[in-house]
Amino acid sequence: MKLRNVAIIAHVDHGKTTLVDKLLQQSGSFRENQRVAERVMDSNDLEKERGITILAKATSVVWKDTRINIVDTPGHADFGGEVERILSMVDGVIVLVDAAEGPMPQTKFVVSKALKIGLRPIVAVNKVDRPDARATEVINEVFDLFAALDATDEQLDFPILYGSGRDGWLAHSPDGPKEDGLKPLFDLILDHVPEAKTEPGPFRMLGTLLEANPFLGRIITGRIASGTVKPNQTVKALDRHGNVVETGRVSKILAFRGIERQPIELGEAGDIVSIAGLTKATVADTFCDPQVAEPIQAQPIDPPTVSMSFIVNDSPLAGTEGDKVTSRVIRDRLLKEAEGNVALKVEESADKDSFIVSGRGELQLAILIETMRREGFELGVSRPRVVLQKNENGQTVEPIEEVVIDVDEEHSGIVVQKMSERKADMLEMKPSGGNRLRLVFHAPTRGLIGYQGELLTDTKGTAIMNRLFHAYGPFKGEIAGRVNGVLIANEPGEAVAYALWNLEDRGPMIIEPGWKVYQGMIIGVHSRDNDLEVNVLKGKKLTNIRTQSKDEAVRLTPPIRMTLERSLAWIQDDELVEVTPKSIRLRKRLLDPNDRKRESRRAEAEVA
């Protein structure tokens, strides 16, 4: 059977996964009466809850005697490592662009990678039924983007389709016809995307995606570059330098058939398959016949820009809510994650009780923490820090991001002011339709940590911010952090409503009555810039004298809800987020107030 391998790439929320749903339906991959979940490719719980794609996944459909392997990719820049790897598996890309928003930072990032390795794009303008759609202008913007990324003449001569992925149609004109559904896209894939590339010689395959299966063990997915592979065949794995990682037998070969993976008896060159049976080999390794000596060159991955410390939970409540609390199990879990995700880097600290995990952004690390939390882990996590580097001249350089903010005109002033405080340089300001402006900045990653929540507050929830790693640039100097201090519990016990009510004039709370607290735990935001220790256990003095004022019911202001992402962005360097399967607590790194005083004196002496 003829083969085509194609990836769908786009910015977050431009409709990739929904389009894959419709491709599967219209190609006959589902039975007429089969119940299928919406966004069927978003398979894990976090993807379903958040409505985002986190992991790249493959599927396949058959159209007119040709099998089309389709890879659905994440749209967030934090998961760009997934996209960079899978581009080596495909021969063409469908660039999906929102008819109103146009090409966004992540579109630019992925398209640049695809054009660099010579893939020819098909451009699909999605959501043309939006009231603010501007399809013609968007196509001009896409052409300008391709030209700016040094596309070849062949790549610039891209075919264009318009339509609505949600309604299941694409056509050569924004007006339709809609009756043909996605047939124009299927036909265009067959005509425009070249046949799967193969090379002569014995079996070779570059590992691209890794997963663990409870029955088959380690499963590696990749595209077979040459030769064939059968179950029980002996293969070896070479790392990127040509060293043998291991030799073993293939226990099973699985191929994508619709949304299911089915065992096959022969994997042929050009097809995307998963193989099981090897125990040590990982992504970016070459799986090959024992006689092969040269590995396939893997695409280089952009370096991590943000790091965090994962620390063994040493709070007084440690071990009460989770069952995985020791440094050994945390270490094993982090190393396992780093194997399958090449954009993550894990280093052990000298004291062996903490691990420095570096990734592409706060969202990627927050997703990892949330996943571990659901698996029963307890850990303390530090504030995200930026990964600084030295350039050839010995100067310190830091990651700079391109930030695109779409905002209502009335709120643009406060956004420009806040971004300039965070050492951002403004590149352009242009109208984006509907009394909205698009602001483009180059800003240091350090300044953007924690800005998302502040931006939504300043703009009444109407602004949309998109970020993308741009380059390493000169260090921009100190950036002012949080201005408020915190309220700290001074005794262990359970918080009392009466005590919280009395403390309300000191600042908003982040805990509720009945919550367990301990010495050094943060229970609220101080209205001033210093930290304050308070007693949240103090109950109401009871007497036998009854008066109207004494019997007033305590009415508490609802506390601030601190989600994981918000907590990570909000804490300072001397604070930690304590993450357990049931709770997210904020605390000081040093719980004892005397230790904190000693540490602050030492820091002051060093500065002096």
Q: Which residues are annotated as a binding site?
A: 13-18, 126-129
Dist. CA 77–CA 401, nearest whole Å: 11
> Phi-psi region for residue 392, left (φ > 0), alpha (ψ -120 to 50) or beta?
alpha
- What tokens does 358 get? 């570096």
- Three-class DSSP category at 346: strand
The separation between the first and the last C-alpha atoms of the chain, rounded to the nearest angstrom, is 74
Least Cα distance to 372 among 396, 393, 355 occurs for 355
The set of residues, in sequence order, having a beta carbon less than 8 Å from that of 53 and lying 6+ positions away, is: 16, 17, 41, 42, 47, 72, 73, 74, 75, 79
Which residue type, as a one-letter code, is found at position 607?
V
Dist. CA 584–CA 578, nearest whole Å: 6
Dist. CA 238–CA 198, nearest whole Å: 20
Least Cα distance to 359 among 311, 301, 313 occurs for 301
What count of other Cβ atoms lies within 10 Å of the Cβ of residue 424?
A: 25
- What tokens does 367 get? 């997703």
Q: What angle do CA 260, 47, 76 make, to 5 degrees?
A: 110
Q: Are 45 and 374 a contacting pair, CB within 8 Å?
A: yes
- What tokens does 7 get? 């990836």
Backbone angles phi, psi at 35, to 5 degrees: -85, 125
Backbone angles phi, psi at 256, to 5 degrees: -80, 120
CA dihedral 210, 212, 217, 220 (to 10 degrees): -10
| Binding site listing for GTP | 13-18, 126-129
Tell how far CA 33 is from the center of its chain. 35
Q: Are 382 and 390 a contacting pair, CB within 8 Å?
A: no
- What tokens does 351 get? 């004291």
Which residue type, as a one-letter code, is found at position 123?
V
| Cis before 177? omega within 30 | yes
> In Å, how far are 382, 430, 449 from 572, measured between CA atoms?
8, 35, 11
Is the sign of the CA dihedral 582, 587, 593, 595 positive or negative? Answer: positive
Could you write out the DSSP letters of every residue in 284-299?
TPEEE-TT--SPPPPP
Residue 120 CB-density burial (10 A; 0-12 exposed, 13-18 middle, 19+ buried): buried
Least Cα distance to 567 among 557, 558, 575, 559 occurs for 575
> In Å, how far are 128, 257, 336 from 274, measured between CA atoms?
37, 12, 19
